[in-house]
Amino acid sequence: MEYLELEQFTLAAGVTRTAFAAVDDGVQAWSYVHRDGLRRRTTAFAEDGGVLVVSLFATAPAPLALDAPTSSTAPIDDGLEALRSVIEPGSYRRRVFEDRG
């Protein structure tokens, strides 16, 4: 069984695709690679500033707490904190789908 994780959000005001890509590259290299079962991850842009991150997992993925309030005690590493800083507050949505097998 495999799982698709879809993360959708809008870039924060003033954040360019180039600036986001630099943060996203760091997250890809340091944060996402340590998630259990990760097989592949890709990021795509919409013309209106929207971003979609699609990740394929071998096991059900645990949430990243990107939508938790900054005052939350939810575990989040520095790379994910940098990612959270370029996301428009309140725009983050995450859904996980189980492959139909």
pLDDT in tens, 20-79: 999 999 888 877 777 889 999 999 999 888 999 999 999 999 887 776 655 555 445 677
The reported pLDDT for the residue numbered 87 is: 94
The residue segments making up the domain with residue 22 are 3-68+75-98
Please give the tally of structural domains in the chain. 1
Domain containing 25 — which CATH number? 3.30.70.100
Q: What is the largest CA-CA distance in the chain?
A: 42
Q: What is the pTM of this model?
A: 0.84
Q: Which residue has the tokens 């809008």?
A: 10
Structure tokens at 70: 């900054």
Q: How far is CA 32 from the centre of its chain?
A: 8
For the cut 90, the answer to whether the pLDDT of residue 88 exceeds it is yes
